[in-house]
Amino acid sequence: MKTTILKLSSLALLVALAAGCVDDGEQGPVGPQGVQGPAGQDGADGQDGADGADGQDGDDGNNGQSGNLAVYTVSITNLTYGQPFSPASVVAHEPGYYAFVPGEPASVALEMLAEGGNASGLIDEATQSVEFLDAQQGAGTPPRSIGSETTLVVPTLDTDNLRVSVLTMLVDTNDAFTGLNAMDISNMEVGDQKAFMTVSWDSGTEANLETADTMPGPAAGAAGGGGASAGFSAVRDDVVDAVHVHRGVVTNENVSDPSREGLATSVLNESDRWDNPTAKIVVTRTR
């Protein structure tokens, strides 16, 4: 009985020793990658971000500073007894721009206004200048009346060296006009007014014949002429091709009296005469 137990114990010992002496086998190759699984579902949308802060006001284009604006109104009072004023060219600008120079030939744009009452050329001419700030065309002004206001808007930083030019035709003439030429309106405070009395000018571009076929106004129209066809002409036939102070119309009054002035071909009468000043122009700063 003892002998049997011993044999079994020895056998177990040998098996254990044999197992400890066996080497591990080499690791086998990595198997191929499996098939890609399906894509996951999109996640939920995130919440909207908060609104951004308001941006600053843009810079003003004329001077590179903040865009604060000053506002001016311009009114024209017609002081004549019977001369209508054409729609005016009203321009705000810096020093350096002039609508005309006394003693020098008129520009074509001024000729268009002085002969035909067309302000568009002067406004275009001013707009193209480097000194330009703002321009508007005002309404016409009947005799002995105050015209409607025209509004100009300029950057506040330009108000310390500001000029205004206002030109309008005396319609029952060949080429007379009145107004302001680069008048200084610098440093006006809100509520300030400046009033200017103006004389009449002759553009020197058209002879002062005062006939129905050479003037555009109602006096010529009543005589069977006038209108657009009697306005601007590119031909310059005045004695002096230069802007100068107008001497006034001659009219047909006293034409039969050799001792007095009179023009037989004129369609104008005493009511078409005027004295200087021709107009009162008021500039008001409203903002």
In whole angstroms, give the CA distance from residue 81 to residue 277: 12
Residue 182 belongs to domain spanning = 69-285
In whole angstroms, give the CA distance from residue 226 to residue 220: 5
Q: Does residue 221 lie in a domain region? A: yes
CATH number, domain of 191, equals 2.60.40.2130
Q: Does residue 61 lie in a domain region? A: no
Instruction: List pLDDT tens digits, range 170-229.
Output: 999 999 999 999 999 999 999 999 999 999 999 999 999 999 999 999 999 999 998 877
Q: Does residue 218 lie in a domain region? A: yes
Instruction: List pLDDT tens digits, range 97-145.
Output: 999 999 999 999 999 999 999 999 999 999 999 999 999 999 999 999 9
Instruction: List pLDDT tens digits, range 144-167.
Output: 999 999 999 999 999 999 999 999
For residue 233, is pLDDT > 80?
Answer: yes
Q: Does residue 11 lie in a domain region? A: no
If one compares 33 and 93, the residue with the highest pLDDT of the two is 93
Q: Does residue 165 lie in a domain region? A: yes
Q: Does residue 40 lie in a domain region? A: no
Domain count, the chain: 1
Please, which residues have CB within 8 angstroms of residue 119's CB and are 6 or more apart in sequence?
Answer: 86, 87, 88, 89, 113, 137, 138, 167, 168
Q: Does residue 182 lie in a domain region? A: yes
**In terms of Cα–Cα distance, which of 239, 228, 271, 240 is closest to 80?**
271
